[in-house]
Amino acid sequence: MTTELPQKHVTLSAGCAMYFATDLQHGKQGLIKRADEALYRAKRAGRNRVMCEERPAKHA
């Protein structure tokens, strides 16, 4: 099927963050803030990508 409509190019940038039981003091707002920071890192890195929060590993 062909159409006469102009073609559009769509990109997606997303940020993700993980919520742990130890995050209770920061609540939902902390989770949203970390995901938002990851989103803007994805956009600065060239867009059209997914970035997750960078959290240091905890030692056992």
pLDDT of residue 37: 94
Averaged pLDDT for residues 2-14: 85
Cα atoms in the Cβ-side hemisphere of radius 13 Å centred on 53 = 16
* pLDDT confidence of residue 58: 67
Q: What is the pLDDT of residue 4?
A: 82
Render pLDDT for 30-60 as a digit per residue (tens, 0 to 9).
889 999 999 999 999 998 999 999 877 666 5
Residue 59: predicted pLDDT: 60
Among 16, 21, 17, 11, CA closest to 46: 11
